A = this chain, B = another copy of it.
Amino acid sequence: MDVNQYPDLNVSSRILLGPGPSMVSPRVLRSMSTPLVGHLDPEFLSLMQDVQQMLRYVFQTENELTVPLSGTGSAGMEASLCNFIEPGDRVLIAVQGYFGERLVDMAGRYGAQVDRIDRPWGQVFEPAEIKAALQKARYKLFAIVHAETSTGALQPGIAEIAAAAHENGALLVLDTVTSLGGLPVEIDAWGVDIAYSGTQKCMSAPPGLAPITVSPRAREVLRNRKTKVANWYLDLSMLEKYWGNERTYHHTAPITMNYALREALRMVAEEGLPARFARHRANAELLWAGLEDMDLSMLVPLEYRLPTLTTPLVPPSVDEVAVRRQLLNEYNIEIAGGFGPLKGQVWRIGLMGFSSRRENIALLLAALREVLARRN
């Protein structure tokens, strides 16, 4: 084999302002060149504890079962369904964008009888609407996305929704992929049973781990299953023994990714959640003001617009793909386009974690202004 085909790794220095991965701070990058210890080394077991404790802080929960799964956010979504669904179980899923659709797909694969309620992409649900839908049948589980990465909309009223789910007897599953670490996520105060996220969004560790938290009520449901969890890799009844006091071997944890997550969580803890949320909000407002100055308007009304992901509408007659290509090739800036029903309609601009910095916003606005001006 001719190894000269594969020169030294040499990637461009990108400013990542898409829907994730976000930029990773030099501190976190550096942590990953730490030599490895084994996955059952006492020092790794103690690191696992640090990670769990700091994840509980970020999720604002006392749930014992709070761990980073060894996969990306999608694995977190799948674990949140496959551990609690048994074939024939009836579940309700709220769909207001792509990730709601994905929840429906996954739940069906595990044999659930899936009912759904829909809102057009970019809108959110009234909690009353969900309450009404939950009154139509008895469900094992109700799942909804907190922050829709495909649209930029933030679902309000989670506490009210949780109460409605519990009244029905259903567990509440919450997708916090694009909210955790960037805006308030109050697992215990809201009464969420299962929540998952990814590391590569507002926590600004690289992709590769999926934080998940599971309430005692949900663990009871897991314990009372009649069938084995179909998915071995994501089976929480085995994973809780590795991450719990038994430390029973299940699979080899991604050591280096856990080094990175620990460092990223330390940075979250140092900043403190209130300051972190305020920074995300203030920077988002700067971005919005700048976009409006350019006569761009947003898909999502201010009231339920995500501070972590903004979706300006593409002006008519502008080729959105060409704009993105220019931003990437000429300015090294990554933003994303819309997809599904929003294809060609919006851009998706993420200001998450370490990417949410004033210099990035100033640069993006300047670059976008130049690119759009050249096209007129």
Smallest CB separation, A61 vs chain B (Å):
13
Closest to A271 in B: B3
A162 at the interface (CB under 8 A from B): no
Q: Which residues of B contact A106 (CB under 8 A)?
A: 232
Tell me if A257 and B257 are in contact (CB < 8 A).
Answer: yes
A305 to chain B, nearest CB (A): 23
- On chain A, which size bracket covers the interface? 35 or more
Task: Check A38/B9 contact, CB under 8 A, given A20-B252, A73-B251, A230-B230.
Answer: no
Q: List chain B residues, Cβ under 8 A from A256.
A: 24, 32, 206-208, 256-257, 260
Within 8 Å by CB of A38, from B16, B233, B262, B263, lies B16
**CB-CB < 8 A to A1: which residues of B?**
54, 57, 269, 272
A31-51: CB near B (< 8 Å → 1, else 0) gives 111111111110110010010
Q: Is the CB of A78 within 8 A of B252?
A: no
Contact in complex: B36, A33 (CB < 8 Å): no
B24 touches A207 (CB 8 A): no
For the complex, is A245 an interface residue (Cβ under 8 Å from B)? no
Minimum C-beta distance from A248 to chain B (A): 10
**Chain A, 326-346, contact with B by CB distance < 8 Å: what is the 0/1 string?**
001000001010010000000
Question: How far is A119 from B75 in the complex, measured between Cα atoms in Å?
Answer: 35
Q: Check A70 for interface membership: any CB of B closer than 8 A.
A: yes
**Chain A 2-43: CB-based contact to B (< 8 A → 1; otherwise 0):** 010110010111101010110110100111111111111101
Contact with B along A77-112 (1 / 0, CB 8 A): 010000000000000000000000010011011100
* Residues in chain A within 8 A of chain B (CB atoms): 1, 3, 5-6, 9, 11-14, 16, 18, 20-21, 23-24, 26, 29-41, 43-44, 47, 50, 53-54, 57, 70-75, 78, 102, 105-106, 108-110, 198, 200, 206-208, 228-234, 249-257, 259-260, 262-263, 265-266, 269-270, 272, 328, 334, 336, 339
